[in-house]
A and B are shown apart, each in its own frame.
Chain A
């Protein structure tokens, strides 16, 4: 940042208001049906000047990255979302999904009031009073261990509320479902270092990036933060720049930025990594790390001569990559969801070991203490499906997740759900999962609610309502507290907070004590609201090589079944993510960065393969796998 833009930050900072209790409500407009005036209030709130924008600091919840945002509000309505320059995650920048958060807030398809399923099977509006009474009745009649909850990935006070609320019911059955949970990377961290974590990669320090299918500029990790640091180290300046090599069969948007793109045989990426690591150890290219004998045992069988044939990458290239990787501060990245074949944990473990042998661990690759709950794996969701199918669940709550859409139909989530007696959704849209439920208690949009989020260790980001709710929705935290109160007994005794905001403030009082801040709480709170949160250094944990790393010696590449002609790589969309952005017209109309296609799904085919089969752009093909088939146009 130059001096000039710092000036900008300061000016902007001064404009950001902290909202103390009730402030946002006083500032804001009314719900959609009632607004008739150009300026939606008769007596304007103090400090509100028509024509002058007000800015609120909050946190983007469009993906798990948790970028800090500033929301521009004019006459009580949010009109623009921008990055918060003070946030260590976004540093004032934002991606397309964050920009399009407004189209979630103002989406015409939002559920406008509580809805209950009628005897005919359709949905009809009910009052909040009736809806909450229904939930309370059902819960009063259900055994706690037959109550299950599926939430999205929450990392903050709401996460804690859910756990407490469920434990008061004596249910421990929560699934924190995040479709892009990167289970393979976690499995690899367990195998190589014995820790269940996704490491933090320092792109600004890593001058040499070797990515094995990580779409780190699209959906993998924290794309805005990574794009900024990557540009800082890879962008040309005064005769210097970093180097980036991408190794993946598919040309992704991230791969387009690479200085060199290597497309190995699909599924064999892990062998390429191990070949490079083998050369580093064999030639002593990096200072020897502890436990070298263990490393050697893991890498013995992966000499370039033995992997070149199976990967299609030449011995020369492997040796060159090994040299380049150790010449400067480097990072090896395990693949994202688009590279998550059945052997992806081998690739990720190999990348972790490559970072280890090159001496990158604790330098450019850090293992931090992850805040909040670890996302549940897809396998754990599978166990819940099994339990539902066997009529082991009486009440199911779904919040912030759409598992019917985000899992392969062969998992049978929707069918299993039908075995559950009472299903409650907190969805904002009538998505595939909400349509299967009996009761919908629509949550506020993230821009209408109080909450917090910890994207990574040391970063406590706050969310505050930037305007009055557009529809007759209620914050789920408030609904849960209301239900607990009505249930009485230990549920009611557990919670002293009347609203989720009070519960949140109590959590932040605790945080203030942990930070040894002795000011009055209102000062701490107001300052946190103005800044968008509280930031401190994360806590790094030191890691040692685990004995299980030797399992890598048995690493097997994934390969397509013999009788199938082609390998299909399913990857998340840069704009639509796992599909959660699909109802935002801006994101639908945003041309895909590689194919430039809008508003549809397509199949990409190598031009030579297409030519061999006589397929041209726009031809519709039927794609068949063991499980199913479907029709898509060719790009």
Chain B
């Protein structure tokens, strides 16, 4: 692009970066290696906003049209009962001890800028391979965390608005991916994580098919094998692999783990030191790097933890919450400080 600019320095001694140009359509076409699907939310309410005035007036109606048919009230009750019964059963059998934490995340969209530092941090922490433009075009990127970007308005002179929302595995309390796995490779851990057991996975991809958030990623290739056409770690690039995280092989499904290696590492440290975990001690890689401190991670069973407080915030909502997936990730609506006409 620099070739179009003038080599002459502008009056202030720098390069002028605006230049008059003309366009010619060549007739050629290229499929862009893009990761966005729709640019519009189509009423799904994934990235929700509220104006500052609405908030101060106490108006927090849902910011989207519920697209599912209205659910009869008793269904909610029946599901609650069913979950309680399941939980009681697990506790009776000893699988779910009462003193386990319930890991959760809150993402404040009024702080998130879409800068994507979390995405790169996640690659670095979790040994996620890069796949190259060809696989991105086929929708086969491996990034466990993506920033969804939507545009609103802008038609017929309406104000134009952009929204972003980081999207990773929502670690659902009622996960659609779990019951469809024929080999129990994905299951719910006692501390509320939706775990993926790589060496059980046989690659049916049913879980990905059933996931409402499209956050499961399948290894179509052996990215760590030199002979593979999509080999991603030429020597010495593999030196950056995190020794605490498995490098996954072809045929295996993977997804965000809430940085389970960090959780376990710090839990072990605390056990060795014979002390309790502190709130804020476990930080996921995305949270750790976030320049605007939009991501908060912690234990929901501690009512005073920072994440518990944020989850109770009036701006909190669950993405596609009407599917009753009961996500562990709560989003806090973006607040727009707009001038009302």
Contact = CB atoms under 8 A, between A and B. Distances in A.
Given A340-B14, A620-B29, A217 B21 contact: no
A82 B25 contact: no
A590 B136 CA distance: 11
Interface in B1-27: 1-27
Contacts of B114: 253, 256-257, 593
A251 interface: yes
A155 B240 CA distance: 29
A561 B6 CA distance: 13
Contact of A625 (B10, B20, B306): B20
A336 to B, nearest CB: 9
B21 A242 contact: no
A621 B25 contact: yes
Given A79-B240, A256-B114, A337-B17, A5 B9 contact: no
B293 interface: yes
B253 interface: no
Contacts of A127: none
Contact of B34 (A260, A320, A338, A595): A595
B30 A633 contact: yes
B43 to A, nearest CB: 21
A79 B241 contact: yes
Contacts of A45: none
Contacts of A558: 16, 18
B2 A408 contact: yes
B279 interface: yes
Nearest to A187: B12
Interface stretch (B89-97, B120-128, B208-216): B120-128
Interface of B: 1-36, 52, 55-56, 108, 110-111, 113-117, 119-121, 123-125, 130-133, 136, 141, 143, 146-147, 149, 159-160, 162, 164, 232, 234-243, 278-281, 283, 285, 288-294, 298, 305-306, 315, 335-339
A161 B280 CA distance: 43
A408 B5 contact: yes
A171 interface: no
A566 B21 contact: yes
Interface in A573-612: 574-575, 585-591, 593-602
Contact of B130 (A244, A338, A379, A589): A589
B29 A598 contact: no
Contacts of A188: 12
A378 interface: yes
B116 A96 contact: yes
Contact of B32 (A566, A589, A618, A621): A618
Nearest to B162: A256
A122 interface: no
B34 A596 contact: yes
Interface stretch (A223-231, A434-442, A493-501, A511-519): A223-231
Contacts of A615: 23, 25
Given A591-B34, A633-B30, A345 B12 contact: yes
A635 B149 contact: no
A4 B278 contact: yes
Contacts of A411: 7
Given A591-B116, A594-B149, A630 B25 contact: no
Contacts of A32: 235-236, 239
Contact of A228 (B52, B291, B306): B291
Given A589-B130, A619-B29, 4 more contacts: A99-B117, A340-B15, A570-B4, A598-B34
- From B11, B19, B132, residue with most partner A Cβ within 10 Å: B19
A249 to B, nearest CB: 9
A22 interface: no
A342 B8 CA distance: 10
A8 B3 contact: no
Contacts of B19: 560, 567-568, 570, 625-626
- From A6, A232, A235, A341, residue with most partner B Cβ within 10 Å: A235
A476 interface: no
A566 B20 contact: yes
A103 interface: yes
B1 A630 contact: yes
A243 B110 CA distance: 12
B225 to A, nearest CB: 16
Nearest to A231: B292
A628 interface: yes
- From B285, B293, B339, residue with most partner A Cβ within 10 Å: B293
A103 B289 contact: no
A241 interface: yes
Nearest to A382: B9
Contacts of B22: 564-566, 623-624
Contacts of B15: 340, 378, 407-408
A96 B115 CA distance: 8
Nearest to B154: A607
Interface stretch (A70-78, A293-301, A304-312): A70-78
A130 B239 CA distance: 31
A227 B115 contact: yes
A210 B11 CA distance: 25
Interface in A170-199: 181-184, 186-188
Contacts of A230: 113, 292
A259 B15 CA distance: 30
A409 interface: yes
A: contact size bracket: 35 or more
B119 A409 contact: no
Contacts of B339: 260, 320
B289 A622 contact: no
A425 to B, nearest CB: 20
Contacts of A599: 33, 132-133, 136
B335 to A, nearest CB: 4
Contacts of B117: 93-96, 98-99
A314 B318 CA distance: 40
B164 to A, nearest CB: 7
A254 B113 contact: yes
Contact of B17 (A570, A602, A622): A570
A255 B316 CA distance: 24
A100 interface: yes
B149 A596 contact: yes
A457 interface: no
A82 B288 contact: yes
B63 to A, nearest CB: 15
B113 A408 contact: no
Contacts of B29: 618-620, 633
Nearest to A237: B110
Interface string A261-272: 100001100000
Contact of B11 (A345, A596, A621): A345
Nearest to A6: B280
Contacts of A83: 288-289
B303 to A, nearest CB: 14
Given A8-B281, A598-B33, A599-B132, A241 B20 contact: no
A623 B21 contact: yes
Given A218-B115, A618-B30, A625-B19, A102 B281 contact: no
Contact of A380 (B8, B13, B23): B13
A21 interface: no
Contact of A410 (B7, B16, B235, B239): B7
Contacts of A218: 115
A377 B13 contact: yes
Contacts of A2: 279-280, 306
B237 A627 contact: no
Contacts of B278: 4, 7-8
Interface string A544-579: 000000000000001011011111111100110000
B32 A407 contact: no
- From B13, B35, B338, residue with most partner A Cβ within 10 Å: B13
Q: Which 3 A-B pairs have the closest CB atoms?
A: A4-B280, A564-B20, A231-B292
Contacts of B143: 589
A244 B3 CA distance: 34
Contacts of A377: 9, 12-14
